[in-house]
Structure 1
């Protein structure tokens, strides 16, 4: 798929799905994680349905990063997050995602209940010129200050606008024994954060960025400017 080419650093392993037949998916979907003017490392992914764990990924993937141009020109948008297939997995109704923010030097946990009609939304196809697309890409974005959005994006990035499913402030992870023993920025991600600061630290001081819920109106405005290509649903 086209968006694989957009990934800065891909997570190369698909989620492991439960083998129970009644949890098998009839919907082809994918997920991804990304950031906004930051660099994140995804460290845990868990999906649930009806209270049962249906699949997860232990993490380890990083990216995308930011750029001097994005910072100085205030180019704020969700980047990265190329969709990873989830073979045979049902569409979840709950997700738990953990990501480390290099800007904040924190590990965040996103806990979110997903819409009951998510499968139907993912299945809906749209005619866009000579092409067909559907919103089957579940995207989890984390911005500085812990702000997150869960979006439903087009599989081929053709159907717009992106649909906002949830947003809020992620909780800082304080119960990780490894973090307690090896603090982030001190014993974990030390060189990575040093390189990030060396590259962008001065720019962030010169060009302050939004934090926390200050991102909400900015991202709403961004989506409002996206073209509306979902005007011809395929029945």
Structure 2
């Protein structure tokens, strides 16, 4: 097997908590619109809006808030009170300023791998928000490069792992999204390692490539150094 020289890490829900704040805001959203529609219908309409708007707003909190506002306008037939819009905007501001909480074993895994491998943070989302999270995490200096991208495609990974390493064949990507962090790097020729977070945004769902020789699942990032050592033959 080709030795791994570059390791890519997803950020949200791989290094620190993120999706649970979206879920809490969705709960508040459902409470605000409870007089107009039931929760199941509201969440389905919100998901539809998020899918439509990805091409316009990209990934992240700002696009999420705009999708909530759009959904509120739709389900109320343009009668949504200004006070509800104000509360949705306030919820988005709160999400943008929420303190970063690292997931278990993150610091240990990164510290173990940093001396021997090039580490690259590869994340989607709003540029300013992702930069804020990385700065607050205290992990910034441990990465050799940071790539904040619009989409995670095989071509994206091939370019990043060539730019910051020895190509995708000598690279491994680890993350909590099967659709974005696992399948595309495998298609590019690298390794895809899935670390489940428990909360999965429906848009990021995909079936795992269970039979692919370069696919692995880990219970936590704490097992990543051992896996990399096995691949490298050490």
Q: Same fold (TM over 0.5)?
A: no
In terms of fraction of residues, the more helix-rich structure is 2
TM-score, scaled to structure 2: 0.28
In terms of fraction of residues, the more strand-rich structure is 1
Specify which structure has the bigger relative contact order, considering alpha-carbon pairs within 8 angstroms and separated by 6 or more residues.
Answer: 2
Structure number with greater Rg is 2
TM-score, scaled to structure 1: 0.28
